[in-house]
Amino acid sequence: MTSIELKPPSATLLALEPFRAAVDYVAGQAPLTFPLPLGDGHPVLVFPGLGVSGAATSDLRQRLQRLGYEVYDWEQGVNFGPNGDHDLQLELLGDHLKQIHSLHRRLVSLVGWSFGGIYARQLAAKYPELVRQVITLATPVDDNSDATHAGWLLNVLSSGIAPMNLESTPHLDAAPSVPCASVYSKTDGIVAWEGCVSAESPSHRNIEVEDVSHFGMVHHPEVLRVVADLLAQDSHGSPLAVTQAVDR
């Protein structure tokens, strides 16, 4: 997708992000008011967002596990972004992906939140023979590093880590050949939603979820519904599972 001039979300959305994220978290803890499709047991690898570890995605992983998937954390600790040897980071993540694929002998779905989605896309581009699909949540797939507050936020939270430079990441918008879906919200307070979408194609879908915060992406029930629906589809986008309610 051709890069366009983008701006970060407004100061208002940024200021409201903590409050709205708390609201999304609470909404995610309430009983579901709609049924979810049960999974077919294939493995799912989940990547955390910038500045957080797998602990931040544990809630999402537990819910997907209860739906019947074999769910894995990325196991690389805190995601500090493209600092240091990015090729080495991808190699380590690739080894983890290979291990999961070898254990289950099935293609692996990759779910990446925020910058974690960049790693998911890059791995899928590098190892398409191992990947079933890629689902990104509020991920800046456009290579415009000025369209996000994420770098500034990480530098504030990291206290001493070298400033993040998205432009230093090779092939930031790697285009995988496997099916991809980009889930985004126009009320994202961290990443410009316009940078989260790519051109629609038979292998790529852009899916909007309304009134969801950036940090609420891994908790909001509507996001869970979208992810569950996508995981329950085969490589051609056809449903695999009968939809039914599950206990929280």
Give the separation between CA 166 and CA 64, rounded to whole angstroms: 30
The string of pLDDT tens digits covering residues 61-73 is 999 999 999 999 9
Residue 17 has which token pair?
A: 């992000």
Report the interhelical angle of 11-29 vs 221-231 (nearest 10°). 70
Non-local (6+) Cβ contacts of 85 within 8 A are none
Q: What is the mean pLDDT of residues 125-130?
A: 96
What the chain holds in terms of domains, given with CATH numbers, is: 11-33+40-233 (3.40.50.1820)
The string of pLDDT tens digits covering residues 68-107 is 999 999 999 998 876 667 788 899 999 999 999 999 999 9
Report the interhelical angle of 116-126 vs 86-104 (nearest 10°). 70
Q: What is the structure's pLDDT at 14?
A: 84
> What single-letter amino acid sits at 91?
E
Q: What is the structure's pLDDT at 168?
A: 46
> pTM value?
0.86
Angle of CA points 36, 74, 152, to nearest 5°: 100
The string of pLDDT tens digits covering residues 153-201 is 444 444 444 444 444 444 445 678 899 999 999 999 888 888 899 888 8
User: 47 has which bridge partners?
Assistant: 112
Residue 208 has which token pair?
A: 């909007």
User: 244 has which bridge partners?
Assistant: 36
pLDDT class for 15, splitting at 50, 70, 90?
confident
By CB neighbour count within 10 A (0-12 exposed, 13-18 middle, 19+ buried), where does 221 fall?
Answer: buried
Neighbours of 136 (CB within 10 A): 27
Question: Which of 232, 239, 180 lies closest to 207, judged by CA?
Answer: 180
